Amino acid sequence: MQSGSINVAGINLEIAEAGTGAPVLMLHGAGGFDVRQPVNALLSQQMRLICPTHPGFGKSALPDWLDSVDDIAHLYLELLDRIDLQTVNVIGCSLGGWIAVEMATKSPERISKLLLVGPVGVKIGTPDQLDIPDVFALSSNELNTLLFRDPSKMVPDPASLTDDELAVIVRNRETLALLTWEPYMHNPKLNYRLHRITAPTLFMRGEWDGLISDKYLQAYAALVPSAHTATINNAGHAPHLEEPRAFAAAAIKFLIN
């Protein structure tokens, strides 16, 4: 992938691109974006893959005024203006799925197709219960067990990471807390805006996802007009990372074919 930076609304964002064809904006989850992820090469064989790093994640700047997912959705709509894309397909993973949905409710005409992978963002259950486990109250081992079917294959040994890589992990977690702490992992108003989405929408979940239950995903999808659901076998919360070939095949079939 070709990596660089772009300034949008005074914010310097990391951005990576690869491939040609129909443009697809891929929005990462709480773990951030890594150009080395195998799924990038698989997807970019069939599409123009555009991968920004959210403000406050990786090396993207985080201005004082930005403190919500809603802010990032507006920022990415402006990013589409900057790179001259009137319409785009969007893949949103976890936190990125929430951002993608917010974009699609604000400017539905700009989103051609919407693929949401283990998305957060809405409140489904009763106010006294969490729909999603409290990721900030879990140990690393407990969280990794919920994120991945086989954490031993997906989680690097911290001792093998550089100081810069460790700093990015800590920064990502701090920004996640800023964006999702209160109210936890949702926008109370979003449930009442999802009817505005006009793009064909596919909700996807790894069968071993310990964060996003099938009940939550089905209820979320029911709020979006004509949305469908799908499952990736042998994967947890990040099927695009654990089962990149199966995920890429399903994504290409939905977005391109």
Number of domains in the chain: 1
How many Å apart are CA 133 and CA 136, to the nearest integer? 9
How many Å apart are CA 46 and CA 21, to the nearest integer? 7
pLDDT of 145 reads 96
pLDDT of 257 reads 77
Strands 23-27 and 111-117: unpaired
**The domain that contains 118 carries what CATH number?**
3.40.50.1820
Question: Coil, strand or helix: which one is 200?
Answer: coil
> Residues 194, 122: contact at Cβ < 8 Å?
yes
How many Å apart are CA 223 and CA 55, to the nearest integer? 28
pLDDT of 65 reads 96
How many Å apart are CA 250 and CA 4, to the nearest integer? 28
How many Å apart are CA 119 and CA 116, to the nearest integer? 6
Q: What is the pLDDT along the chain (257 residues), one digit of tens a residue?
A: 999 999 999 999 999 999 999 999 999 999 999 999 999 999 999 999 999 999 999 999 999 999 999 999 999 999 999 999 999 999 999 999 999 999 999 999 999 999 999 999 999 999 999 999 999 999 999 999 999 999 999 999 989 999 999 999 999 999 999 999 999 999 999 999 999 999 999 999 999 999 999 999 999 999 999 999 999 999 999 999 999 999 999 999 999 97
Cis peptide before 183 (omega within 30 of 0): yes
In the numeric block, the tokens 């979003």 are attached to: 190
Domain of residue 160, residue span? 2-255
Count of C-beta atoms within a 10 Å radius of residue 248: 20
Phi, psi of 10 (to 5 degrees): 80, 10
The radius of gyration computed from the CA coordinates of the chain, to the nearest angstrom, equals: 17
Query: pTM score, two decimals?
Result: 0.97
